[in-house]
Chains A and B, each alone.
Chain A
Amino acid sequence: MDNWKDNKSVFWTLAGPGTFWMLVFFILPLGFLFVMSFSDKAVINGEISITEYDYLTGISNYVRSVDPLYLTIIWKSIWVSALATILCLVTAYPIAFGICFASERWKPLLLLLVVLPFWINLLIRTYALIAVFRSQGYVNLALGAVGLGPYDMLYNNFAVIFGLVYVYMPFMVLPLYATIERLDKSFLEASLDLGASQFTTFLKVTVPLTMPGIITGVILVFIPCLGSFLTPDLLGGANAVMIGNVIERQFKAANDWPFGAALSFMLMYATFAALMLRAFFAKRSAGVDV
Protein backbone atom coordinates (compact mmCIF):
# COMPACT_ATOMS: atom_id res chain seq x y z
CA MET A 1 0.00 0.00 0.00
CA ASP A 2 1.31 3.44 -0.94
CA ASN A 3 1.40 6.46 1.27
CA TRP A 4 -1.03 9.05 -0.03
CA LYS A 5 1.73 11.68 0.03
CA ASP A 6 3.73 9.73 -2.57
CA ASN A 7 1.19 10.34 -5.27
CA LYS A 8 -1.07 13.14 -4.21
CA SER A 9 -2.59 13.83 -7.62
CA VAL A 10 -3.75 10.23 -8.09
CA PHE A 11 -4.99 10.15 -4.49
CA TRP A 12 -7.10 13.28 -4.86
CA THR A 13 -8.41 12.30 -8.29
CA LEU A 14 -9.66 9.00 -6.90
CA ALA A 15 -10.90 10.35 -3.57
CA GLY A 16 -12.39 13.59 -4.85
CA PRO A 17 -15.63 12.74 -6.68
CA GLY A 18 -16.94 10.16 -4.21
CA THR A 19 -16.11 12.27 -1.18
CA PHE A 20 -17.67 15.32 -2.81
CA TRP A 21 -20.90 13.42 -3.55
CA MET A 22 -21.06 12.12 0.02
CA LEU A 23 -20.46 15.54 1.54
CA VAL A 24 -22.87 17.49 -0.67
CA PHE A 25 -25.68 14.96 -1.14
CA PHE A 26 -25.55 13.11 2.14
CA ILE A 27 -23.81 14.96 4.97
CA LEU A 28 -25.08 18.40 3.97
CA PRO A 29 -28.74 17.23 3.77
CA LEU A 30 -28.33 15.65 7.21
CA GLY A 31 -26.95 18.99 8.39
CA PHE A 32 -30.06 20.73 7.01
CA LEU A 33 -32.19 18.17 8.84
CA PHE A 34 -30.22 18.76 12.05
CA VAL A 35 -30.78 22.52 11.87
CA MET A 36 -34.46 21.96 11.05
CA SER A 37 -34.89 19.77 14.11
CA PHE A 38 -34.02 22.80 16.29
CA SER A 39 -36.29 25.15 14.35
CA ASP A 40 -39.93 26.13 14.43
CA LYS A 41 -42.48 27.22 11.91
CA ALA A 42 -42.37 30.97 11.53
CA VAL A 43 -45.26 33.04 12.77
CA ILE A 44 -46.00 35.83 10.32
CA ASN A 45 -48.69 38.37 11.26
CA GLY A 46 -49.97 36.06 13.95
CA GLU A 47 -50.40 33.16 11.56
CA ILE A 48 -48.30 30.02 11.42
CA SER A 49 -46.57 29.95 8.05
CA ILE A 50 -46.56 26.77 5.96
CA THR A 51 -43.29 27.39 4.17
CA GLU A 52 -41.25 29.75 6.36
CA TYR A 53 -39.25 28.72 9.40
CA ASP A 54 -37.53 30.41 12.33
CA TYR A 55 -34.22 28.59 12.45
CA LEU A 56 -32.46 27.36 15.60
CA THR A 57 -35.12 28.42 18.05
CA GLY A 58 -34.56 25.68 20.61
CA ILE A 59 -35.20 22.11 21.56
CA SER A 60 -39.00 22.30 21.62
CA ASN A 61 -39.31 19.55 18.96
CA TYR A 62 -37.23 17.15 21.02
CA VAL A 63 -39.27 17.95 24.09
CA ARG A 64 -42.37 17.14 22.09
CA SER A 65 -40.92 13.88 20.81
CA VAL A 66 -40.66 12.53 24.37
CA ASP A 67 -44.32 13.35 24.96
CA PRO A 68 -46.06 10.14 26.17
CA LEU A 69 -47.99 9.89 22.88
CA TYR A 70 -44.79 9.68 20.80
CA LEU A 71 -42.79 7.89 23.45
CA THR A 72 -45.36 5.09 23.29
CA ILE A 73 -44.86 4.84 19.53
CA ILE A 74 -41.06 4.87 19.87
CA TRP A 75 -41.28 2.21 22.57
CA LYS A 76 -43.66 0.16 20.44
CA SER A 77 -41.33 0.41 17.43
CA ILE A 78 -38.53 -0.92 19.61
CA TRP A 79 -40.43 -3.94 20.91
CA VAL A 80 -42.01 -4.77 17.54
CA SER A 81 -38.53 -4.68 15.99
CA ALA A 82 -37.08 -6.69 18.86
CA LEU A 83 -39.77 -9.35 18.56
CA ALA A 84 -39.35 -9.52 14.77
CA THR A 85 -35.58 -9.83 15.26
CA ILE A 86 -35.95 -12.68 17.75
CA LEU A 87 -38.37 -14.53 15.47
CA CYS A 88 -35.94 -14.02 12.60
CA LEU A 89 -33.12 -15.46 14.68
CA VAL A 90 -35.14 -18.46 15.79
CA THR A 91 -36.16 -19.35 12.23
CA ALA A 92 -32.92 -18.35 10.51
CA TYR A 93 -30.58 -20.29 12.81
CA PRO A 94 -31.82 -23.76 11.82
CA ILE A 95 -31.82 -22.68 8.17
CA ALA A 96 -28.23 -21.44 8.30
CA PHE A 97 -27.23 -24.51 10.28
CA GLY A 98 -28.95 -26.83 7.82
CA ILE A 99 -27.34 -25.17 4.81
CA CYS A 100 -23.88 -25.53 6.36
CA PHE A 101 -24.42 -29.25 6.84
CA ALA A 102 -26.13 -29.82 3.50
CA SER A 103 -24.32 -31.70 0.76
CA GLU A 104 -22.06 -29.66 -1.52
CA ARG A 105 -24.49 -30.15 -4.36
CA TRP A 106 -27.38 -28.54 -2.52
CA LYS A 107 -25.54 -25.78 -0.70
CA PRO A 108 -25.37 -23.13 -3.47
CA LEU A 109 -28.97 -23.73 -4.46
CA LEU A 110 -30.26 -23.44 -0.88
CA LEU A 111 -28.26 -20.25 -0.35
CA LEU A 112 -29.67 -18.80 -3.55
CA LEU A 113 -33.20 -19.70 -2.45
CA VAL A 114 -32.70 -17.82 0.82
CA VAL A 115 -31.16 -14.74 -0.77
CA LEU A 116 -33.37 -14.45 -3.84
CA PRO A 117 -36.48 -12.99 -2.14
CA PHE A 118 -34.25 -10.27 -0.72
CA TRP A 119 -33.62 -9.03 -4.26
CA ILE A 120 -37.27 -8.85 -5.11
CA ASN A 121 -38.72 -5.42 -4.55
CA LEU A 122 -39.72 -4.85 -0.93
CA LEU A 123 -42.97 -3.29 -2.04
CA ILE A 124 -43.86 -6.28 -4.22
CA ARG A 125 -43.15 -8.74 -1.41
CA THR A 126 -45.29 -6.70 0.97
CA TYR A 127 -48.05 -6.57 -1.63
CA ALA A 128 -47.79 -10.34 -2.04
CA LEU A 129 -48.34 -10.70 1.71
CA ILE A 130 -51.45 -8.54 1.54
CA ALA A 131 -52.92 -10.93 -1.03
CA VAL A 132 -52.20 -13.84 1.31
CA PHE A 133 -53.52 -12.28 4.51
CA ARG A 134 -56.48 -10.11 3.49
CA SER A 135 -59.94 -11.18 4.56
CA GLN A 136 -60.56 -12.85 1.17
CA GLY A 137 -56.94 -14.01 0.96
CA TYR A 138 -55.57 -17.50 0.64
CA VAL A 139 -55.07 -18.11 4.35
CA ASN A 140 -58.68 -17.26 5.09
CA LEU A 141 -59.80 -19.24 2.04
CA ALA A 142 -57.93 -22.27 3.35
CA LEU A 143 -59.30 -21.77 6.87
CA GLY A 144 -62.79 -21.33 5.44
CA ALA A 145 -62.48 -24.68 3.70
CA VAL A 146 -62.15 -26.35 7.10
CA GLY A 147 -64.90 -24.20 8.58
CA LEU A 148 -62.84 -21.56 10.38
CA GLY A 149 -62.59 -17.83 10.12
CA PRO A 150 -62.52 -15.52 8.38
CA TYR A 151 -60.01 -13.77 10.64
CA ASP A 152 -58.70 -10.23 10.36
CA MET A 153 -55.05 -10.85 9.81
CA LEU A 154 -54.17 -7.53 8.25
CA TYR A 155 -53.82 -4.12 9.88
CA ASN A 156 -52.57 -5.24 13.27
CA ASN A 157 -49.28 -5.87 15.05
CA PHE A 158 -49.24 -9.52 14.04
CA ALA A 159 -49.24 -8.59 10.33
CA VAL A 160 -46.43 -6.07 10.85
CA ILE A 161 -44.24 -8.49 12.79
CA PHE A 162 -44.85 -11.29 10.31
CA GLY A 163 -44.10 -8.90 7.45
CA LEU A 164 -40.84 -7.74 9.03
CA VAL A 165 -39.71 -11.32 9.63
CA TYR A 166 -40.64 -12.25 6.09
CA VAL A 167 -38.82 -9.30 4.59
CA TYR A 168 -35.61 -9.26 6.63
CA MET A 169 -34.97 -12.98 7.09
CA PRO A 170 -32.10 -13.11 4.54
CA PHE A 171 -30.20 -10.48 6.57
CA MET A 172 -30.15 -12.94 9.44
CA VAL A 173 -29.37 -16.10 7.50
CA LEU A 174 -26.27 -14.78 5.72
CA PRO A 175 -24.11 -13.74 8.71
CA LEU A 176 -25.19 -16.86 10.61
CA TYR A 177 -24.26 -19.01 7.62
CA ALA A 178 -20.87 -17.31 7.37
CA THR A 179 -19.95 -18.00 11.02
CA ILE A 180 -21.37 -21.53 11.22
CA GLU A 181 -19.51 -22.40 8.03
CA ARG A 182 -16.23 -21.28 9.61
CA LEU A 183 -16.95 -23.15 12.85
CA ASP A 184 -14.47 -25.96 13.41
CA LYS A 185 -16.71 -29.02 13.38
CA SER A 186 -14.23 -31.01 15.49
CA PHE A 187 -15.33 -28.94 18.52
CA LEU A 188 -18.80 -30.39 18.08
CA GLU A 189 -17.40 -33.91 17.72
CA ALA A 190 -15.27 -33.44 20.82
CA SER A 191 -18.26 -32.26 22.83
CA LEU A 192 -20.40 -35.18 21.67
CA ASP A 193 -17.54 -37.68 22.27
CA LEU A 194 -17.13 -36.39 25.81
CA GLY A 195 -20.74 -37.27 26.53
CA ALA A 196 -22.62 -34.03 26.05
CA SER A 197 -26.04 -34.39 24.46
CA GLN A 198 -26.86 -32.76 21.12
CA PHE A 199 -28.83 -30.10 22.98
CA THR A 200 -26.04 -29.33 25.46
CA THR A 201 -23.51 -29.23 22.63
CA PHE A 202 -25.65 -26.77 20.76
CA LEU A 203 -26.15 -24.54 23.78
CA LYS A 204 -22.62 -24.67 25.20
CA VAL A 205 -20.49 -25.03 22.08
CA THR A 206 -22.28 -24.02 18.90
CA VAL A 207 -24.08 -20.94 20.17
CA PRO A 208 -21.10 -19.36 21.98
CA LEU A 209 -18.80 -20.02 19.02
CA THR A 210 -21.24 -18.50 16.54
CA MET A 211 -22.02 -15.48 18.75
CA PRO A 212 -20.33 -12.97 16.39
CA GLY A 213 -22.66 -14.08 13.59
CA ILE A 214 -25.67 -13.91 15.89
CA ILE A 215 -24.79 -10.36 16.95
CA THR A 216 -24.22 -9.22 13.36
CA GLY A 217 -27.50 -10.79 12.23
CA VAL A 218 -29.46 -9.29 15.11
CA ILE A 219 -28.14 -5.81 14.34
CA LEU A 220 -28.64 -6.20 10.57
CA VAL A 221 -32.29 -7.09 11.14
CA PHE A 222 -33.06 -4.82 14.08
CA ILE A 223 -31.87 -1.59 12.42
CA PRO A 224 -33.98 -1.76 9.25
CA CYS A 225 -36.96 -3.00 11.30
CA LEU A 226 -36.73 -0.01 13.60
CA GLY A 227 -36.63 2.42 10.68
CA SER A 228 -39.15 0.59 8.54
CA PHE A 229 -41.92 2.58 6.97
CA LEU A 230 -43.43 0.52 4.16
CA THR A 231 -44.23 -2.68 6.10
CA PRO A 232 -46.14 -1.02 8.97
CA ASP A 233 -47.75 1.38 6.50
CA LEU A 234 -49.18 -1.30 4.21
CA LEU A 235 -49.68 -4.18 6.64
CA GLY A 236 -50.33 -2.29 9.86
CA GLY A 237 -52.48 0.55 8.68
CA ALA A 238 -53.64 2.94 11.38
CA ASN A 239 -53.53 0.27 14.09
CA ALA A 240 -49.83 -0.52 14.06
CA VAL A 241 -48.02 2.77 13.60
CA MET A 242 -44.25 2.78 13.97
CA ILE A 243 -41.81 5.67 14.25
CA GLY A 244 -41.15 5.63 10.47
CA ASN A 245 -44.83 6.27 9.79
CA VAL A 246 -44.91 9.20 12.19
CA ILE A 247 -41.89 10.72 10.45
CA GLU A 248 -43.49 10.26 7.06
CA ARG A 249 -46.69 11.90 8.28
CA GLN A 250 -44.79 14.97 9.53
CA PHE A 251 -43.16 15.43 6.14
CA LYS A 252 -46.27 14.72 4.08
CA ALA A 253 -49.80 15.03 5.50
CA ALA A 254 -49.13 16.88 8.77
CA ASN A 255 -46.55 19.21 7.19
CA ASP A 256 -44.58 19.68 10.40
CA TRP A 257 -41.03 19.33 9.13
CA PRO A 258 -39.20 20.56 12.26
CA PHE A 259 -40.89 17.93 14.38
CA GLY A 260 -40.33 15.27 11.72
CA ALA A 261 -36.65 16.24 11.64
CA ALA A 262 -36.38 15.84 15.42
CA LEU A 263 -38.03 12.41 15.24
CA SER A 264 -35.63 11.41 12.44
CA PHE A 265 -32.70 12.26 14.66
CA MET A 266 -34.19 10.30 17.54
CA LEU A 267 -34.40 7.33 15.17
CA MET A 268 -30.81 7.83 14.03
CA TYR A 269 -29.56 8.03 17.63
CA ALA A 270 -31.37 4.76 18.37
CA THR A 271 -29.72 3.22 15.29
CA PHE A 272 -26.28 4.39 16.35
CA ALA A 273 -26.89 3.09 19.86
CA ALA A 274 -27.64 -0.33 18.36
CA LEU A 275 -24.46 -0.15 16.29
CA MET A 276 -22.39 0.80 19.32
CA LEU A 277 -23.91 -2.08 21.26
CA ARG A 278 -22.77 -4.33 18.44
CA ALA A 279 -19.22 -2.95 18.54
CA PHE A 280 -19.21 -3.48 22.30
CA PHE A 281 -20.37 -7.10 22.05
CA ALA A 282 -18.04 -7.78 19.13
CA LYS A 283 -15.12 -6.64 21.27
CA ARG A 284 -16.24 -8.81 24.17
CA SER A 285 -16.64 -11.90 22.06
CA ALA A 286 -13.43 -11.17 20.13
CA GLY A 287 -11.61 -13.78 22.21
CA VAL A 288 -14.13 -16.40 21.09
CA ASP A 289 -14.00 -15.49 17.42
CA VAL A 290 -11.81 -18.24 15.98
Chain B
Amino acid sequence: MADQMKPGSGPLDYGNRLWLKILFGVIFFMLYVPIITLVAFSFNTDRRGIVWRGFTFDNYVKAWNNSALIEAMVNSLMIALIATIIATVLGAMVALMLWRFRFPFKGAYEAFMGLPIVIPEICMGVALLLFFNETGMMAAVVAMPWPLNLSNIIIAHVAFCFPFVAIVVRSRLVGFNRQLEEASKDLGASEWQTFWKVIVPFMMPGLVAGALLAFTLSLDDFVITFFTSGPETVTFPVKVYSLVRRGVSPEINAASTVLIVITVVATVLAMKLQAPQKSGKG
Protein backbone atom coordinates (compact mmCIF):
# COMPACT_ATOMS: atom_id res chain seq x y z
CA MET B 1 0.00 0.00 0.00
CA ALA B 2 2.62 2.47 1.07
CA ASP B 3 4.54 2.32 -2.16
CA GLN B 4 1.41 3.32 -4.06
CA MET B 5 1.20 6.60 -2.16
CA LYS B 6 2.45 9.59 -4.06
CA PRO B 7 4.25 12.20 -2.00
CA GLY B 8 1.67 14.47 -0.46
CA SER B 9 -1.23 12.05 -0.45
CA GLY B 10 -0.85 10.88 3.15
CA PRO B 11 -3.97 10.96 5.32
CA LEU B 12 -2.90 14.17 7.08
CA ASP B 13 -1.34 15.84 4.08
CA TYR B 14 -4.25 18.20 3.60
CA GLY B 15 -1.99 20.94 2.27
CA ASN B 16 -1.60 19.05 -1.00
CA ARG B 17 -5.24 18.14 -1.56
CA LEU B 18 -6.48 19.42 -4.86
CA TRP B 19 -9.91 20.50 -3.58
CA LEU B 20 -8.29 22.59 -0.87
CA LYS B 21 -5.99 24.24 -3.39
CA ILE B 22 -8.94 25.06 -5.62
CA LEU B 23 -10.86 26.47 -2.64
CA PHE B 24 -7.83 28.59 -1.72
CA GLY B 25 -7.66 29.85 -5.27
CA VAL B 26 -11.35 30.79 -5.32
CA ILE B 27 -11.30 32.56 -1.98
CA PHE B 28 -8.11 34.49 -2.61
CA PHE B 29 -9.50 35.40 -6.03
CA MET B 30 -12.61 36.84 -4.39
CA LEU B 31 -10.56 38.64 -1.72
CA TYR B 32 -8.15 40.26 -4.11
CA VAL B 33 -9.95 40.82 -7.41
CA PRO B 34 -11.90 43.87 -6.18
CA ILE B 35 -8.75 45.47 -4.76
CA ILE B 36 -6.58 44.65 -7.77
CA THR B 37 -9.14 45.97 -10.23
CA LEU B 38 -9.44 49.12 -8.13
CA VAL B 39 -5.68 49.65 -8.34
CA ALA B 40 -5.53 48.70 -12.04
CA PHE B 41 -8.32 51.05 -13.02
CA SER B 42 -6.61 53.96 -11.32
CA PHE B 43 -4.34 53.84 -14.39
CA ASN B 44 -7.23 53.67 -16.85
CA THR B 45 -7.87 56.44 -19.40
CA ASP B 46 -11.62 55.77 -19.50
CA ARG B 47 -13.46 58.39 -17.43
CA ARG B 48 -16.28 56.07 -16.46
CA GLY B 49 -13.82 53.42 -15.43
CA ILE B 50 -15.60 50.36 -16.78
CA VAL B 51 -13.64 49.30 -19.84
CA TRP B 52 -9.87 49.32 -20.09
CA ARG B 53 -8.87 51.95 -22.63
CA GLY B 54 -5.20 52.49 -21.99
CA PHE B 55 -2.54 53.27 -19.40
CA THR B 56 -2.22 56.75 -17.92
CA PHE B 57 -1.10 58.65 -14.84
CA ASP B 58 -3.71 61.35 -15.47
CA ASN B 59 -5.93 60.25 -12.61
CA TYR B 60 -3.05 60.72 -10.18
CA VAL B 61 -2.35 64.15 -11.61
CA LYS B 62 -6.02 65.03 -11.27
CA ALA B 63 -6.16 63.73 -7.70
CA TRP B 64 -3.00 65.70 -6.93
CA ASN B 65 -4.53 68.89 -8.35
CA ASN B 66 -7.78 68.35 -6.45
CA SER B 67 -7.07 70.69 -3.55
CA ALA B 68 -9.97 69.39 -1.43
CA LEU B 69 -8.67 65.83 -1.73
CA ILE B 70 -5.10 66.89 -0.89
CA GLU B 71 -6.31 68.93 2.09
CA ALA B 72 -8.20 65.88 3.36
CA MET B 73 -5.11 63.70 2.90
CA VAL B 74 -2.86 66.19 4.76
CA ASN B 75 -5.43 66.35 7.59
CA SER B 76 -5.53 62.55 7.81
CA LEU B 77 -1.75 62.24 7.92
CA MET B 78 -1.45 65.01 10.51
CA ILE B 79 -4.11 63.40 12.72
CA ALA B 80 -2.52 59.98 12.36
CA LEU B 81 0.95 61.34 13.18
CA ILE B 82 -0.04 63.21 16.36
CA ALA B 83 -2.50 60.54 17.53
CA THR B 84 0.18 57.88 17.03
CA ILE B 85 2.73 59.74 19.16
CA ILE B 86 0.29 60.29 22.03
CA ALA B 87 -1.23 56.81 21.78
CA THR B 88 2.19 55.15 21.76
CA VAL B 89 3.33 56.99 24.88
CA LEU B 90 0.06 56.33 26.76
CA GLY B 91 -0.15 52.71 25.59
CA ALA B 92 3.48 51.99 26.54
CA MET B 93 2.97 53.45 30.01
CA VAL B 94 -0.15 51.37 30.63
CA ALA B 95 1.65 48.28 29.31
CA LEU B 96 4.60 48.89 31.65
CA MET B 97 2.26 49.39 34.58
CA LEU B 98 0.32 46.19 33.86
CA TRP B 99 3.53 44.26 33.33
CA ARG B 100 5.32 45.47 36.42
CA PHE B 101 2.69 45.76 39.11
CA ARG B 102 0.05 43.66 40.71
CA PHE B 103 -2.78 45.61 42.23
CA PRO B 104 -6.35 45.01 43.37
CA PHE B 105 -8.99 44.58 40.62
CA LYS B 106 -6.32 44.14 37.95
CA GLY B 107 -8.58 41.88 35.87
CA ALA B 108 -11.33 44.47 35.94
CA TYR B 109 -8.85 47.18 34.95
CA GLU B 110 -7.67 45.14 31.96
CA ALA B 111 -11.29 44.60 30.85
CA PHE B 112 -11.85 48.35 31.24
CA MET B 113 -8.83 49.04 28.99
CA GLY B 114 -10.23 46.63 26.42
CA LEU B 115 -13.59 48.41 26.21
CA PRO B 116 -12.75 50.68 23.26
CA ILE B 117 -11.74 47.57 21.33
CA VAL B 118 -15.02 45.69 21.83
CA ILE B 119 -17.55 48.49 21.84
CA PRO B 120 -19.23 49.15 18.45
CA GLU B 121 -17.43 51.99 16.70
CA ILE B 122 -20.65 53.82 16.00
CA CYS B 123 -21.51 53.96 19.73
CA MET B 124 -18.11 55.43 20.52
CA GLY B 125 -18.53 57.90 17.66
CA VAL B 126 -21.91 59.22 18.76
CA ALA B 127 -20.85 59.31 22.42
CA LEU B 128 -17.87 61.49 21.54
CA LEU B 129 -19.99 63.69 19.27
CA LEU B 130 -22.39 64.27 22.15
CA PHE B 131 -19.54 64.87 24.60
CA PHE B 132 -17.77 67.40 22.36
CA ASN B 133 -21.03 69.20 21.72
CA GLU B 134 -22.22 69.38 25.31
CA THR B 135 -18.85 70.48 26.71
CA GLY B 136 -18.50 73.16 24.04
CA MET B 137 -15.30 71.58 22.75
CA MET B 138 -16.78 71.21 19.27
CA ALA B 139 -17.57 74.92 18.95
CA ALA B 140 -14.23 75.91 20.49
CA VAL B 141 -12.12 73.69 18.26
CA VAL B 142 -13.88 74.57 14.99
CA ALA B 143 -12.80 78.20 15.47
CA MET B 144 -9.14 77.32 15.97
CA PRO B 145 -6.46 77.57 13.26
CA TRP B 146 -5.03 74.47 11.58
CA PRO B 147 -3.87 72.02 12.93
CA LEU B 148 -5.53 72.79 16.28
CA ASN B 149 -8.95 72.42 14.63
CA LEU B 150 -8.17 68.71 14.38
CA SER B 151 -7.84 68.35 18.18
CA ASN B 152 -11.17 66.60 18.76
CA ILE B 153 -10.48 64.00 16.08
CA ILE B 154 -7.00 63.43 17.51
CA ILE B 155 -8.40 63.01 21.03
CA ALA B 156 -10.94 60.47 19.73
CA HIS B 157 -8.30 58.58 17.75
CA VAL B 158 -5.96 58.36 20.74
CA ALA B 159 -8.83 56.94 22.81
CA PHE B 160 -9.38 53.99 20.47
CA CYS B 161 -5.73 53.48 19.47
CA PHE B 162 -3.83 53.37 22.73
CA PRO B 163 -5.43 50.20 24.16
CA PHE B 164 -4.17 48.41 21.01
CA VAL B 165 -0.66 49.81 21.57
CA ALA B 166 -0.81 48.65 25.21
CA ILE B 167 -1.61 45.09 24.10
CA VAL B 168 1.22 44.97 21.55
CA VAL B 169 3.83 46.47 23.90
CA ARG B 170 2.78 44.27 26.78
CA SER B 171 3.11 41.10 24.74
CA ARG B 172 6.65 42.21 23.92
CA LEU B 173 7.43 42.89 27.60
CA VAL B 174 6.37 39.39 28.64
CA GLY B 175 9.59 38.10 27.09
CA PHE B 176 11.77 40.41 29.20
CA ASN B 177 14.19 38.78 31.58
CA ARG B 178 13.86 40.73 34.82
CA GLN B 179 17.31 39.64 35.92
CA LEU B 180 18.64 42.15 33.40
CA GLU B 181 16.87 44.87 35.35
CA GLU B 182 18.30 43.58 38.62
CA ALA B 183 21.77 43.34 37.11
CA SER B 184 21.52 46.92 35.92
CA LYS B 185 20.52 48.10 39.38
CA ASP B 186 23.23 45.97 41.05
CA LEU B 187 25.78 47.64 38.82
CA GLY B 188 24.71 50.99 40.20
CA ALA B 189 22.23 52.31 37.66
CA SER B 190 19.32 54.28 39.01
CA GLU B 191 15.72 53.31 38.34
CA TRP B 192 15.54 55.99 35.64
CA GLN B 193 18.81 54.90 33.96
CA THR B 194 17.69 51.27 34.02
CA PHE B 195 14.45 52.27 32.38
CA TRP B 196 16.10 54.17 29.51
CA LYS B 197 19.13 51.95 28.98
CA VAL B 198 17.68 48.50 29.56
CA ILE B 199 13.89 48.39 29.36
CA VAL B 200 13.23 50.89 26.56
CA PRO B 201 15.72 49.30 24.12
CA PHE B 202 14.09 45.94 24.81
CA MET B 203 10.60 47.39 24.28
CA MET B 204 11.60 49.10 21.04
CA PRO B 205 10.29 46.53 18.51
CA GLY B 206 6.98 46.45 20.40
CA LEU B 207 6.86 50.24 20.49
CA VAL B 208 7.47 50.54 16.75
CA ALA B 209 4.93 47.81 15.96
CA GLY B 210 2.39 49.42 18.28
CA ALA B 211 3.00 52.83 16.75
CA LEU B 212 2.55 51.51 13.21
CA LEU B 213 -0.64 49.76 14.29
CA ALA B 214 -1.96 53.00 15.80
CA PHE B 215 -0.95 54.88 12.64
CA THR B 216 -2.89 52.54 10.34
CA LEU B 217 -5.90 52.41 12.69
CA SER B 218 -6.03 56.19 12.78
CA LEU B 219 -5.51 56.61 9.04
CA ASP B 220 -8.22 54.05 8.31
CA ASP B 221 -10.87 55.25 10.68
CA PHE B 222 -14.03 56.49 9.09
CA VAL B 223 -16.89 56.02 11.52
CA ILE B 224 -15.51 57.80 14.59
CA THR B 225 -14.03 60.62 12.48
CA PHE B 226 -17.34 60.98 10.64
CA PHE B 227 -19.03 61.89 13.93
CA THR B 228 -16.28 63.84 15.69
CA SER B 229 -15.17 66.05 12.81
CA GLY B 230 -16.91 69.39 12.69
CA PRO B 231 -18.77 70.52 9.58
CA GLU B 232 -15.63 72.17 8.14
CA THR B 233 -13.00 69.53 8.81
CA VAL B 234 -12.58 66.73 6.29
CA THR B 235 -10.28 63.73 6.52
CA PHE B 236 -9.38 61.46 3.66
CA PRO B 237 -11.87 58.64 4.45
CA VAL B 238 -14.64 61.18 5.08
CA LYS B 239 -13.86 62.85 1.74
CA VAL B 240 -13.78 59.52 -0.09
CA TYR B 241 -17.10 58.62 1.53
CA SER B 242 -18.78 61.74 0.17
CA LEU B 243 -17.27 61.09 -3.28
CA VAL B 244 -18.29 57.41 -3.27
CA ARG B 245 -21.87 58.37 -2.49
CA ARG B 246 -21.86 60.33 -5.73
CA GLY B 247 -20.48 57.45 -7.79
CA VAL B 248 -17.38 55.67 -8.98
CA SER B 249 -14.56 57.72 -10.51
CA PRO B 250 -10.94 56.90 -11.43
CA GLU B 251 -9.75 59.79 -9.28
CA ILE B 252 -10.99 58.00 -6.17
CA ASN B 253 -9.20 54.91 -7.42
CA ALA B 254 -5.95 56.87 -7.69
CA ALA B 255 -6.29 58.41 -4.23
CA SER B 256 -7.28 55.03 -2.74
CA THR B 257 -4.28 53.38 -4.32
CA VAL B 258 -1.97 55.88 -2.62
CA LEU B 259 -3.58 55.11 0.73
CA ILE B 260 -3.40 51.35 0.11
CA VAL B 261 0.33 51.62 -0.59
CA ILE B 262 0.92 53.64 2.59
CA THR B 263 -0.97 51.19 4.82
CA VAL B 264 0.44 48.05 3.21
CA VAL B 265 4.01 49.32 3.66
CA ALA B 266 3.30 50.25 7.30
CA THR B 267 1.71 46.84 7.96
CA VAL B 268 4.47 44.79 6.38
CA LEU B 269 7.01 46.79 8.39
CA ALA B 270 5.05 46.21 11.60
CA MET B 271 4.80 42.49 10.91
CA LYS B 272 8.52 42.22 10.23
CA LEU B 273 9.25 43.93 13.53
CA GLN B 274 6.80 41.83 15.48
CA ALA B 275 7.96 38.51 14.09
CA PRO B 276 10.15 36.56 16.51
CA GLN B 277 13.81 37.42 15.89
CA LYS B 278 15.70 34.81 13.89
CA SER B 279 18.73 33.38 15.67
CA GLY B 280 21.90 35.25 14.87
CA LYS B 281 20.21 38.61 14.86
CA GLY B 282 20.11 38.56 18.65
Contacts and interface: CB of A to CB of B under 8 A. Distances in A.
Residue among B97, B159, B271 with max Cβ neighbours from chain A (10 Å)? B97
| A: contact size bracket | 35 or more
A45 interface: no
Nearest to A51: B133
B264 interface: yes
B38 A264 contact: no
Contact of B127 (A4, A30, A103): A30
A224 B31 CA distance: 19
A127 B91 CA distance: 32
Given A22-B113, A127-B38, A98 B271 contact: no
Nearest to A114: B31
B82 interface: no
B244 A234 contact: yes
B14 A131 contact: no
Given A32-B130, A95-B27, A113-B28, A101 B14 contact: yes
Nearest to A162: B30
B153 to A, nearest CB: 12
B73 interface: no
Nearest to A134: B248
A138 to B, nearest CB: 6
Interface in B114-147: 115-116, 118-124, 126-131, 134
Interface in A104-119: 106, 110, 112-117, 119
A128 B93 contact: no
A267 to B, nearest CB: 6
B118 A223 contact: yes
Given A33-B126, A127-B244, A121 B237 contact: yes
A18 B90 contact: yes
Contacts of B11: 189, 192, 198
Given A121-B220, A244-B120, A18 B93 contact: yes
Helix, strand, loop or mixed for chain B's interface? helix
Contacts of B112: 22
Interface stretch (B54-62, B63-71, B201-209, B252-260): B252-260
A285 B50 CA distance: 51
Given A15-B94, A125-B35, A3 B101 contact: yes
Contact of A129 (B34, B134, B191): B34
Contacts of A229: 121-122, 223
Interface in B18-62: 20, 23-24, 27-28, 30-35, 37-38, 41, 48-50
B222 interface: yes
Interface in A1-48: 1-4, 7, 10-11, 13-15, 17-19, 21-22, 25-26, 28-30, 32-33, 36
B50 A141 contact: yes
Interface string A231-270: 0001000000000100110010000010011001101100
A188 interface: yes
Nearest to B160: A26
A124 B31 CA distance: 13
Interface residues of B, number: 81
A227 B31 contact: no
B203 to A, nearest CB: 13
A200 interface: no
Contact of A116 (B49, B162, B264): B264
B185 interface: no
Nearest to B14: A101
A97 interface: yes
Contact of A123 (B119, B191, B222): B222
Contacts of A130: 244, 248
A73 interface: no
**Which of B119, B156, B240, B266 has the largest number of chain A CB atoms within 10 A?**
B119
A7 B120 CA distance: 37
Interface in B217-234: 219-220, 222-223, 227
Given A11-B101, A29-B131, A261-B130, A123 B264 contact: no
Interface in B237-265: 237, 240-241, 244-245, 248, 252, 256, 259-260, 263-264
Contacts of A136: 48, 50
Given A17-B93, A98-B20, A128-B35, 15 more contacts: A15-B94, A18-B162, A21-B162, A32-B134, A33-B131, A102-B15, A124-B240, A127-B240, A127-B244, A166-B34, A198-B11, A224-B120, A247-B122, A264-B122, A271-B119
Interface of B: 11-15, 20, 23-24, 27-28, 30-35, 37-38, 41, 48-50, 89-91, 93-94, 96-97, 99-103, 112-113, 115-116, 118-124, 126-131, 134, 155-156, 158-159, 162, 166, 191, 216, 219-220, 222-223, 227, 237, 240-241, 244-245, 248, 252, 256, 259-260, 263-264, 266-268, 271
20 contacts: A2-B102, A3-B101, A11-B101, A15-B93, A22-B113, A26-B115, A26-B127, A94-B20, A98-B14, A98-B23, A120-B264, A125-B34, A130-B244, A131-B248, A138-B33, A141-B50, A166-B31, A227-B122, A268-B119, A271-B118
